[in-house]
């Protein structure tokens, strides 16, 4: 929803499909707007958030729950990190 509102770009549904868009980014090179992926259900790329900068990311923990900001540095998220992707803004 955020990328569609900001850039007019509709991303594919599902975290696995999202894990293939853009280009791979190392955790140490994260920039605001990068997608961060986690293995939260014993399945790679089962959860995704948007990196905000300063070690924080935005995500919806589950359907119907409030969207929240968390640290990528907590033990829980560090142990489940699967990678990150960067999408280049469209050129108009």
Cα–Cα distance, 7 to 67 (Å, whole number): 21
Block residue for tokens 């907590």: 74
Is the model's pLDDT at 23 over the cut of 70?
yes
Q: What is the pLDDT of residue 92?
A: 62
Cα–Cα distance, 35 to 23 (Å, whole number): 10
Q: What is the pLDDT of residue 1?
A: 78
For residues 12 and 4, is the Cβ–Cβ distance under 8 A?
no
How does pLDDT run across 2-19, given as a tens digit for each residue? 888 888 888 999 899 999
Cα–Cα distance, 84 to 37 (Å, whole number): 6
Mean local confidence (pLDDT), 23-29: 96
For residues 72 and 56, is the Cβ–Cβ distance under 8 A?
yes
How does pLDDT run across 27-78, given as a tens digit for each residue? 999 999 999 999 999 999 999 999 999 999 999 988 888 999 999 999 999 9
């Amino acid at each position: 929803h955020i990328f569609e509102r900001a850039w007019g770009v509709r991303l594919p549904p599902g975290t696995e499909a999202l894990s293939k868009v853009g280009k791979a980014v190392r955790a140490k090179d994260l920039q605001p707007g990068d997608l961060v992926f986690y293995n939260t259900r014993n399945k790679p790329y089962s959860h995704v958030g948007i990196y905000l900068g300063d070690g924080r990311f935005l995500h919806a923990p589950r359907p119907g729950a409030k969207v929240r900001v968390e640290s990528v540095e907590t033990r829980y998220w560090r142990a489940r990190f699967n990678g990150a992707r960067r999408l280049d803004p469209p050129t108009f």
